[in-house]
C-alpha cells in the first residue's frame, strides 16, 4: 500500500471511531446525558459530543494499533505453521477459548449474585459482529480469509477492550466496544480495496514513465534513418 492510501486509511478510521464514539457514548450513558436533551442545553450537548468524539478517536488509534499488530502476527503464524489451514485451525481454537473466557472468567470475577445471561449476550454481540464481518471479507476475497477475519474481530477486539473489561463499567463497556468493532470491521474490509488501488496507481505511474521513454527511442530511430 502506498503512503497516500495508508494516510487515507488512518484518517477515515479515525473519523469512524470519533463519530461512533460520539453517538454510542450518548446512548450508552443516556441516563447521565438525558437532562441535557430534556432542557435542550445546546452548549452542553455540543461540548459533550466533542469530548465523546475525542475519546472515540483514542479508541480508533487503539484499533489501528491492534490491526497492524495482527497483520504482523498473521505473517508470523503463516511462517511458523507453514500451512494456512493449520494456522487457521490454531486461530479457531483461540477464538473459542477467548469467547469462553469472555463469559466464564468475567462471570467469576464480577457475577456474584447475578445471572450469567448478560455476560453471554455481550460475548454473542462480539461473536456476531465477527461472523458478519468475516462473511463479507470471505465474499470479498476467498474462503481462507474467513477464520483470520473472525480471529481479528473477536480475539484482537477483546484484547483491545481489556482496559474497560477489567473495570466492568457497563456504560463504558458498550461505549468502547462499538467504536472498536466499527473501526476493526472497516479496516478489515477496506484493506484489500486500498491495496488494489495502490497497485493500480503504481502500475499507472510506471506506465506513464515508460511511455515518454518509448517516444524518445522512436524519435532517435527516425533520426538515424533520415
- pLDDT tens digit string along 175-206? 999 999 999 999 999 998 888 888 887 777 77
Q: What is the pLDDT of residue 212?
A: 58
Burial call 152-175: b when 16+ CB within 10 Å, e when fewer: bbbbbbbebbeebbeeeeebbbbb
| Range in 56-60, 81-85, 88-92, 154-158 the model is least confident about | 81-85
Query: Is residue 20 scored above 90 in pLDDT?
Result: yes
Percent of the chain topping pLDDT 90: 59
At 114, the pLDDT band (50, 70, 90 cuts) reads confident
Under a CB-based contact definition with an 8 Å cutoff, are residues 119 and 106 in contact?
A: yes
Q: What is the pLDDT of residue 216?
A: 52
Q: What is the pLDDT of residue 219?
A: 40
Query: Is residue 221 scored above 60 in pLDDT?
Result: no
How far, rounded to the nearest angstrom, does the alpha carbon of residue 183 sit from its chain's CA centroid?
A: 4
At 169, the pLDDT band (50, 70, 90 cuts) reads confident
What is the sign, positive or negative, of the torsion defined by CA atoms of 24, 188, 4, 7?
A: positive
Between 101 and 202, name the one with better pLDDT: 101
> What is the C-alpha separation between 178 and 20, in angstroms, rounded?
7
Between 103 and 3, name the one with better pLDDT: 103
Q: What is the mean pLDDT of residues 6-28?
A: 94
At 222, the pLDDT band (50, 70, 90 cuts) reads very low
Query: Is residue 146 scored above 70 in pLDDT?
Result: yes
Under a CB-based contact definition with an 8 Å cutoff, are residues 168 and 108 in contact?
A: no
Q: What is the pLDDT of residue 223?
A: 41
Residue positions counted in the chain: 226
Q: What is the mean pLDDT of residues 125-146?
A: 94
Query: Is residue 86 scored above 80 in pLDDT?
Result: yes
HSE-up of 119 (CA within 13 Å, CB side)?
19
Q: What tens digit of pLDDT does each residue of 22-72 get?
A: 999 999 888 888 888 888 888 999 999 999 999 999 999 999 999 999 999
Amino acid at each position: 500500500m502506498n503512503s497516500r492510501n495508508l494516510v487515507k486509511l488512518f484518517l477515515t478510521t479515525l473519523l469512524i471511531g470519533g463519530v461512533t464514539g460520539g453517538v454510542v457514548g450518548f446512548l450508552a450513558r443516556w441516563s447521565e446525558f438525558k437532562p441535557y436533551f430534556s432542557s435542550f442545553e445546546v452548549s452542553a450537548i455540543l461540548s459533550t459530543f466533542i469530548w465523546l468524539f475525542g475519546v472515540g478517536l483514542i479508541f480508533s488509534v487503539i484499533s489501528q494499533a491492534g490491526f497492524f499488530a495482527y497483520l504482523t502476527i498473521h505473517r508470523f503464524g503463516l511462517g511458523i505453521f507453514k500451512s494456512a489451514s493449520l494456522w487457521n485451525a490454531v486461530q479457531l481454537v483461540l477464538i473459542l477459548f477467548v469467547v469462553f473466557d469472555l463469559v466464564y472468567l468475567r462471570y467469576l470475577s464480577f457475577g456474584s449474585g447475578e445471572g450469567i445471561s448478560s455476560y453471554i449476550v455481550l460475548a454473542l454481540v462480539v461473536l456476531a459482529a465477527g461472523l458478519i464481518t468475516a462473511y463479507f471479507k470471505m465474499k470479498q476475497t476467498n474462503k481462507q480469509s474467513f477464520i483470520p477475519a473472525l480471529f481479528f474481530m473477536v480475539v484482537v477486539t477483546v484484547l483491545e477492550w481489556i482496559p474497560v473489561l477489567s473495570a466492568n463499567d457497563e456504560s463504558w463497556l458498550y461505549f468502547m466496544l462499538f467504536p472498536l468493532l466499527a473501526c476493526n470491521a472497516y479496516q478489515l474490509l477496506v484493506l484489500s480495496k486500498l491495496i488494489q488501488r495502490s497497485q493500480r496507481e503504481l502500475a499507472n505511474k510506471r506506465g506513464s514513465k515508460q511511455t515518454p521513454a518509448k517516444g524518445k527511442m522512436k524519435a532517435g530511430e527516425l533520426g538515424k534513418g533520415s
